[in-house]
Structure 1
Amino acid sequence: MFSKTKPIGCPLTNKRRLDDVDDKILSYLSRDARISNRRIAAELNITEGTVRSRIKRMLDEGLMRITAVTNIDKLKNPCLAFIWIDVDHSGDCERIAQQLSDIPEMGFVAKMLGRFDILAITLVQDPEQLTGFLHTNISTIKGIRRTETSLGVNFVKHDYRVSHIVD
């Protein structure tokens, strides 16, 4: 899988903008990260060396990363658990978010503006597994005032490439 690493709504720390060729390369990689540089080059009518150097530059500059992800469509009973968290003191938000992100099963952690301080997302098989996960992993973190959870059980659309940035 491919993803751009710029968080949505956050300014780029690296001022380089992706050009049209970069975007086209990323488009191919987002559909199949195993596609060969040679095939991308042939499709875009550029050299394989150009594809290779652009991918290397984007990786080196942290503009993208290539990784494997679980296809949740193939799991028996996948449920995305959304865990909305209120913290006791705003000064603890960074520490708590970091502790949550250190939990291997946690797939997403973000500090939020609005009703809750933190949103954490993990994948579970059923409500009982979520309950055990909350008691074992979340309730043990000092400074959490309360949590509210919801389960996503029927996926209408699931696109791994949710980090595609709209210009």
Structure 2
Amino acid sequence: MTEQISRDATSPQTPVRLDEVDRKILSLLQQDASLSLDQIAERVGASKTPVWNRIRKLREAGVIRRQVAILDPEALGLEACFFVLIRTAEHDKDWAARFLKALRERPEVIEAHRLAGDIDYILKVQVRNARAYDRFYQSLISQVRIHNVTALLSMEEIKATSALPIGEAGRD
């Protein structure tokens, strides 16, 4: 999850038009962001300068937000992944500001989504174990009033990817 927990819903971004070369570049970068410009250019069948210009334009347009290393949580001892369902009875701006501030302050929250339906928010929380989750939970409810919290422990990760399905992205 990015540090930007909440986007400004009043200003939706216009989708960027992409051609086949742009999609190839993005696919390569999603697979391995450490590829050199030479490697990308070779794989898309273009020269280095036009590929560099395309990547620069994709960054400027906000298509490429940033490039990161994806870490293995288990290798770092963060073996417990909880999906936390949150219902609130409060929907005013002050409550939302306090709630978002609380989430931003907690590195354990690696994703947060506001939902439609019976559940207001879902969080993905990565911690060492159940005790660490309980500390997170106790801290969160001490900071902001929450009507109902349900925590679901992931027993097995079936699929995890940060790669977007860009095959049809940016087409008319």
TM-score (normalised: structure 1) = 0.81
Q: Which residue of 2 aligns with 1:29?
A: 29
Higher mean C-alpha displacement, 127-136 vs 13-22: 13-22
Instruction: Identify the match of residue 120 of structure 1 among 123, 132, 153.
Output: 123
Q: Over residues 95-150 of structure 1, what are the superposed CA-to-partner deviations in whole Å (9 max), with x where a residue is unaligned?
A: 223431332221111111112111111111221221111112x1123231121110
* Counterpart Cα distance in 1 of 2:167 and 2:47: 27
Residue 123 of structure 2 aligns with an amino acid whose one-letter code is A
SS where residue 140 of structure 1 aligns? helix
> Hey, what does 2:106 align to over in structure 1?
103
Unmatched runs of 5 consecutive residues or more in structure 1: 1-6
Select the residue among 144, 147, 152 that pairs with 2:146. Answer: 144
| Distance verdict in 2 for CA 1:104–1:76, change over 3 Å | closer
Contact 1:25 1:40 in 2 (8 A): yes
Q: Do the aligned partners of 1:100 and 1:120 also contact (CA within 8 Å) in 2?
A: no
The amino acid across from 2:25 in the alignment is: I
Alpha-carbon contact 1:97-1:109 (below 8 Å) kept: no
Answer 1 or 2: which has greater strand percent: 1
Higher relative contact order (CA 8 A, sep 6+): 2
Partner of 1:90: 91
**Alignment deviations for residues 79-104 of structure 1 (CA, whole Å, 9 cap, x no partner):** 22111111121225632234313322
Contact 1:86 1:117 in 2 (8 A): yes
Q: Output one character per residue of 1:48-74: Cα deviation in whole Å (capped at 9) or x when no partner.
A: 111111111111121112122222353
Looking at structure 1, the residues matched to 92 and 141 of structure 2 have their Cα atoms a distance apart, in angstroms, of 19
Q: Tell me the percent identity.
A: 22
Provide the residue aligned with 1:41 in structure 2: 41
**Alignment partners' CA distance in 1, 2:138 and 2:52:** 47
Identify the range of structure 1 (84-93 vs 17-26) with the bigger mean alpha-carbon deviation.
84-93
Which residue is equivalent to 1:67? Answer: 68
**Shift of residue 12 of structure 1?**
5.4
1:16 and 2:19 matched: no
Paired amino acid for 2:115: M
TM-score under structure 2 normalisation? 0.79
| Secondary structure of the structure 2 residue equivalent to 1:67 | coil
